[in-house]
Structure 1
């Protein structure tokens, strides 16, 4: 209890400063200038004023209840205090408090700090539901909840404290004592506030449906924090400081649950910001941020992948989605109609992208606040992300029930949060790449990879690695974030890229079917059944367009793509450093060749890490190349070169094919049609590309002949098409051209390359041109309107199906065939010998002759179709390229091979070709003359050959090649089948098939044995036959 004799009288200045007290209800000014002894009273007065009615004039009285319920007058000396307190029955306080009898109404009523607790208890014990208390408190105060009362007291006390701290006329120690006393009083308010949150029925509360307890604080958190109905951050800090070690989790638990419940119903198009902002208000208080991961729903272990985004503490905030697959209301942004495109939806794109970017910023702010609140909350946050990742392993599968995994938005948002954590170590110099663990998957890894395919490790290495332990301290926060980001990319956007590709394929197929039906409708040939089908297609296409636009608004967002680009650059640098024997990359260039066998740390990595890299770059280079146009791409080029030239490091040929596909997309123009607007300039400037590109792609051209995949026959054409485009792109660079010449000196490997190039040309042109002939026939049939209309609907439908298939195949085959012929054309300018080898030259000659006949012979009219450009059929260019090859290989060896072609060669065909070339100005006069000279030389050789054949007469069977049935010149013996065959024939066979053609046993050219005896017999026979022919001629003469 404070004694009145300890009061320090107010100075004149202090009295003047409080002279307006009777005219203003605030007690802050009074409290700022009270005496030391009054400091506790200041706190009491400040808190008691909260919510008071306007101050009554001096001399006024106010009634309060006696114990018997009759009113009692309050002395005028207490009036100012009472008029501001107006909350409590002062009779009870007076019996337990020490009062001064101030001579001036300006002097405050003294209530000791010791009695402050009882003051608060008396006030909070007033039952607002008891009508008899209406005379004690006005009805407005009765409706005030205890939490609101305590918060308003806290606010008023904060104002008093602020003004007290600014007083300049009192000694510092006095100010400090008063502030300390105010802080103590504030602590008492906060304690009771925490109690009424946890136990709202501890004191009588208004019973009119008003939210009480935690819900009352939730309502204030959801309000504007700067408004009167909001809750100050400082108040939350006081709550956190008071209960940090005394049940703060019990306060936080219902708050987080309530905000999550509000977030659960929010969407990206509605008010998602309010509950998230409220959560951020809690996170802004470090102690509260640290308590959030302690709530029971933080990481529910029994929740499924689908449930975790709903029932976990942060799930409802993280699941807010811009994908219409998650939130159908998003579809409304993109309108309806089959003619919609990205341009029409630019406003919707900007709106949804802006909202999602804002969402990501706020989500990261919240997660970052929790992570930075302490070591334990950080580990719990990481554990939550690892748990979500494990629950969603099935998202990476080709076929998955969407109802059993988390939504795209949930995973997408977490991925972006993790990438923002990566920002500090994704600098351009990759200065912190050495802090990412290289042994993360050793022992009991936080990410289970026991069932996933590894890059190149055999089972024994995998088992041994799993049984070892990572070095102590090697797994740091950077490593956790790095591998989590890899994992979430794998189950998130990487899967979306693949799904988008598959979806677009289905979309285009349906649109093509729809377009064909509309053509029938226009021509009046549409059946009633197909009329209904058009309606179904229109409805389905409308939904598909909406889905496409929604998906593209997210996965083609340049900001997100740019962020992923930075991340995958880091991943590539980390992998290159891992395989670098010096462990010095990127500070020093990596040196090739790499050791034959990679380290176990690299070999055991999940193959999906590598696959996700290449899928990302293919996606971005194909759909949004401008996103990376300003980047150097050095890491990407180095990455592709290193792994294309290191066969022991990537066992899956599909991944190598993807590397080639990346290079292919780099060569394509991305701004209009200007050929210089490509990202492939790096292929002509990067030192490693200048050294490694040509050997790598030419070697892989041969390797893809046998990949072991069930689709290898068709895969190889697509891969080789990409290679042909790359080669054509760099052919103008003298350095690359010299590298091709150098490769051609490796006779065996280049002959295999040339053989496959020729084989592809043969097959592709044959298939492509035959499909064109098929299209021609069906178009002619359909043009006969009367006959076509007379056909049965089933017949027309079948023929239309055949036409559709032929059109699709013709486009593919002819495009690939064009490129292989063009490659032969420019390669044979500089390189001839491999194409003139005995195992190739005859087949090359017959292939060229056969296609020349089709292009300019009697059946060329069968290739006339309505829209040849749709199939990339350019007969003039194709003819010109084929003639180029003839002219480039104009040598005795090639002429002899042409002369031996009895199936397709004809001088008349060459003359017909010359007329077309000359008439269409496809060749110069000099080139036409060269072609004529070539034909004359062929005719001369053919004449000589016919004479030689006549001299030899009937060839004994033992001298005939068993495969070609021609006279053997250099017979060899096959060791396992014991068959004799001409060396050129078996070499040609082994270029495509490494087995003995007679028993399918493995065979190499080095295994064959010269059949000297048979060779000598053939030579002797030939000499004998020629001698007989000469003698006969002499006799005839």
Structure 2
């Protein structure tokens, strides 16, 4: 019995006269083999049998045959101790030698670790059982780390060096490799020392782009549809595919990716739960990766020198899964995240070059040096490490992928234009065809790759399941940041009130960065900016993709609460560009949906208590503050932010009556604040209308020149110059007219319900002159210069703009100060312009009613009467001494004040209007506050005496 089992298990025989196929003749001087011969047989086979090309494969096959024999003879094993001992000995020796073959490479003849690994990777299912027993033996014999160090580094080398590629394109290989890792880490002793395996950590000189090739987990963590080979294989063959075909490819890869990420998380979870050392090791490993990849958010960084999008996004997704238990909707574990995390010694995350939310580097370093936790027992817990590392990966991992997507979109456009350009050159010069064809081929190859990568990014960001998990983290992180902002750090279990510091009435602190910084809450002000930027960048970007996780998401209110708080409390975040992105997200949520139902954030704006109380003031305040962004392009930066704010304000005004009431209340009870807001609106509208109409006139003129030149001019450079000027004018006209149209809408809305605010002394003259000037542009003698082909492409509808301007006149027609301001605008006011506007809007187009026309005519009549009256009054005064005239407006001052630095006398309303936009003395640019101006009562009295004297002279004449 024993001999037959041994012969069958090891495929050996001692009968020289009868050697079956695939059997080995072993002469031990006995006819039959016994238990004592097993060791000798194995030694011979492994060390002397030159025909045995795959020693480990032989042992594995022997173990399979052993188990088959064990099943066949289970009854005999149970009843016969000798047979039982035989089987135990075979088991022990096969597994033992299996372990030895991975301890001493040249122990067996033809021994080769790489060949063993190759076979295991190719047919992992065939080896799973045998490997399991070897792992258990290594654990028992306390040689586990030695075994792992001989197994996994070789596996890494095989995957990155000898395999042609290791990615999702070969499902058999990558599935087998994942199975191998799953098998090993399922054993807790393996998981507990996994980070001790050679090549788990990178060499200190490892570059940012080498982690996925030179570290043990690298190849696994890079398994993603975002890998370039996978993108090209799936999307590159048919760039002209239909939307349905693209959708099918997306869904297939999305399903595969989800399974892969879940399996990778299983592996990482086992390692992290293995031991404190392995948990710390994984966090350290991921930290090293992200610390060397901060340039992924750099504008001009070389992608080839950085970790891939596939690698970084997968790690981010795994970290997000780890964060789910303590950021669920119950927030029962949110207090486990350390609010003062960055005070700890030996942080994993490198903050040395990180911009802070509202402090400079020196102030932040001094704070941390003073408040560092130096007690060893105060080390951060895993939850805190995991949470803040996830925030870091959201910004540099997924955020870097978002930035790559933006860049590659531009790159694709550029390559397509280059292909067209090169083809045109080919048509002009056939002699260069061979060279040009090669150039076109290379360009088309590049286009295929970049277009494939773009498609893979679309597939990734439209994968609702994965994006929901990411956005759940965004919402959970938003709630935690609200907890940090909360002075008592008890949110969300206990609400807190906004604003954190009293609202400042007056102009001196509107743009005072130092003042706001001094009031910023601790420790929030010292947090790295990326903790907020990552959330905003992701949320802004994901709204562009199908199946956005923001839609129909009950957790969205958490993000909107954070956004409202940041806008309401300007001391929290100093970076206006982040706030600009934030209002863009809120504006998308405010816009009506395709079925014309309210925007998906409107219910939150209406029903969330914190948002409802603070959003309007926050938007109005940021509208003013965004005037200065600190960049060289700040003059233009503000328009995009204000455009987004205008969208939200309009939707709030029409969709939620409560916000209309709040606006009217602010205009009456907080006039300085509200007038400051209107002043910024007026500045923008004045510039945008002027810029837009000027560029439309340029489009008109250049188009005519171009038409004439095309017919008569043979000079290509002249034509190209005109084409360049036309494109620039078209681009600027489209931008300015679109922004102006939105601002004009707000003027129509607000002048109807809050007319008094627009007739204030600080604003009324500028408003009147702006309206008069643009009315003249639209219906005056030069209006023909605004005629362009297809005006809709510039968001320019002259009749609608004319109606809007006239509506503002009518809305303010009961305000006496406004009528006077329109009348005294000697540059542009002309009653005939109103008559022409009435003819265009009423008789020619029928856009407005008779009542509208009558109201506009009545206003023009009153303005003309006021003009005649004031001209008569001016004649009464005759020559006015220069000292009585306002130096900017050239009108007689009513309330003269003296400016403290320049000592210039100026009317109070004039300097107040100036300070709405600029907090400096207009004559010497020194800082100036309204309360610092000095009333000049003596001059005021002399002006009154002058006026009274002139009136007496007239009466006596």
CA distance in 2 between partners of 1:124 and 1:513 (Å): 66
Question: Across the two proteins, how many residue pairs are aligned to each other?
Answer: 922
- Equivalent position of 1:27 in the other structure: none
CA distance in 2, matches of 1:515, 1:945: 65
**TM-score, structure 2 as length reference:** 0.88
Pairing 1:774–2:698 present: yes
Listed as ranges, the matches of 1:458-537 within 5 Å are 458=360, 459-466=362-369, 468-469=372-373, 472-505=377-410
Change (3 A) 1:911 1:517: farther
Distance between the aligned counterparts of 2:854 and 2:479, measured in 1?
Answer: 57
604-613 vs 82-91, which deviates more?
Answer: 82-91
1:578 to 2:484 alignment: yes
Q: 1:619, CA displacement in angstroms?
A: 0.8
Structure 1 counterpart of 2:147, from 241, 245, 248:
248
Contact 2:487 2:521 (8 Å CA) reproduced: no
1:170-319 correspondence runs (5 A) = 182-183=87-88, 185-199=90-104, 201-202=106-107, 205=109, 212-227=111-126, 232-245=130-143, 247-253=146-152, 255-257=154-156, 259-261=158-160, 265-270=165-170, 271-290=173-192, 292-301=194-203, 302-319=205-222
Give the aligned partner of residue 607 of structure 1.
529
Cα distance change, pair 185–64 in 1 and its aligned pair in 2 (3 A): closer
- Among 530, 553, 571, the residue aligned to 1:648: 571
Corresponding residue number in structure 1 for 2:64: 155
Cα distance in 1, alignment partners of residues 56 and 300 from structure 2: 53
User: 1:264–1:310: 8 Å Cα contact kept in structure 2?
Assistant: no
* Distance in 2 of aligned mates of 1:456 and 1:657: 16
Aligned partners of 2:355 and 2:528 also within 8 Å: yes
Q: 2:729 aligns with which of 806, 814, 823?
A: 806
Q: CA RMSD in A?
A: 3.6
CA distance in 2, matches of 1:684, 1:537: 55
Check conservation: 2:309, 2:400, Cα contact below 8 A. no
Out of 569, 574, 581, which is 2:475 matched to? 569
Deviation at 1:1024, TM superposition (A): 1.9
Larger radius of gyration: 1
- Report how far residue 791 of structure 1 moved: 4.5
Aligned-pair CA distance for 1:512: 8.5
User: Per-residue displacement from partner, 1:104-133 (whole Å, max 9, x unpaired)?
Assistant: xxxxx7945xx356544565478434xxxx
The alignment partner of 2:209 has SS state of: helix
Residue equivalent to 1:964? 889
Alignment check: 8 A CA contact 1:973 1:1009 kept: yes
* Distance in 1 separating the partners of 2:523 and 2:919: 35
Structure 1 counterpart SS, 2:897:
strand
Partner of 1:1004: 929
CA–CA distance in structure 1, aligned partners of residues 296 and 688 of structure 2? 38
Provide the secondary structure at the position in 1 that maps to 2:766. helix
Shift of 1:421: 2.4
The answer on whether the counterparts of 1:395 and 1:492 sit within 8 Å (CA) in structure 2 is: yes
Structure 2 equivalent of residue 1025 of structure 1:
950
State the alpha-carbon separation in 2 of the partners of residues 822 and 792 from structure 1. 45
Residues 607-635 of structure 1 show CA distances to partners (whole Å, capped at 9, x for unaligned) of: 11111111111111233464221212110
Closer/same/farther in 2, CA of residues 744 and 310 from structure 1, 3 Å limit: same
Distance 1:833 1:194, change over 3 A: same
Q: Is the 8 A contact 2:590 2:598 kept in 1?
A: no
Instruction: State the 1:606 CA deviation.
Output: 0.8
User: Cα deviation per residue 1:711-751 (whole Å; 9 max; x = unaligned)?
Assistant: 21111111111111110010022210111112112111211
Cα separation, 2, equivalents of 1:122 and 1:720: 82
1:588 equivalenced with 2:494 (yes/no) = yes
- 1:942 maps to what in 2? 867
| 1:720-735 equivalent positions in 2, closer than 5 A | 720-732=642-654, 733-735=656-658
1:201-220 Cα distance to aligned partner (Å, 9 max, x none) = 445x4xxxxx6343453244
1:525 shift after superposition: 13
Please state if 1:433 is matched with 2:338.
Answer: no
Answer yes or no: is the 8 Å Cα contact 2:734–2:793 preserved in 1.
Answer: yes
Aligned to 1:11: none
Output one character per residue of 1:82-106: Cα deviation in whole Å (capped at 9) or x when no partner.
Answer: 9999767565458xxxxxxxxxxxx
The separation in 1 between residues aligned to 2:447 and 2:157, in whole angstroms, is: 41
Give 2:827's match in structure 1, choosing from 891, 900, 903.
903
Distance 1:258 1:383 in 2: 23
- Partner-residue secondary structure (3-state), 1:866: coil
Q: Given the superposition, is the C-alpha separation of residues 1026 and 417 from structure 1 closer, same or farther in structure 2, using an over 3 Å criterion?
A: same
Match of residue 750 from structure 2: 827
Equivalent of residue 898 in structure 2, options 973, 977, 982: 973
CA distance in structure 2 between the partners assigned to 1:434 and 1:938 by the alignment? 65
Counterpart in the other structure of 1:25 = none
**Which of residues 837, 848, 851 in structure 2 aligns to 1:913?**
837
Structure with more contact order per residue of length (Cα contacts < 8 Å, sep ≥ 6): 2
Rounded to whole Å, the distance in 2 between the matches of 1:915 and 1:535 is 58
Question: What is residue 50 of structure 1 aligned with on the other side?
Answer: 9
* Cα drift, residue 927 of structure 1: 1.8
- Deviation per CA, 1:591-619: give whole Å up to 9, x if none: 33336845543222111111111111111
Q: Are the aligned partners of 1:663 and 1:680 in contact in 2 as well (CA < 8 Å)?
A: no
Which residue of 700, 704, 708 maps to 2:626?
704
Distance 1:364 1:922, change over 3 A: same
**2:258 aligned partner:** 357
Shift of 1:341: 7.0
Runs of 5+ consecutive residues of structure 1 not aligned to the other structure: 1-29, 31-41, 54-61, 66-70, 74-81, 95-108, 130-141, 206-210, 1033-1037
Give the distance between the partners of 2:634 and 2:327, measured in 1 at CA: 38
Structure 2 residue 228 is the aligned partner of structure 1 residue 327: yes
Report if aligned partners of 1:486, 1:609 keep a CA contact under 8 Å in 2.
yes
Q: After alignment, is 723-732 or 452-461 more displaced?
A: 452-461
Tell me which moved more, 260-269 or 393-402: 260-269
- Once residues 714 and 194 of structure 2 are traced to their aligned partners in structure 1, the CA distance between those partners, rounded to angstroms, is 74
| 2:277 counterpart of 1:380 | no
Alpha-carbon deviation of 1:189? 2.4
Moved more, 676-685 or 159-168: 159-168
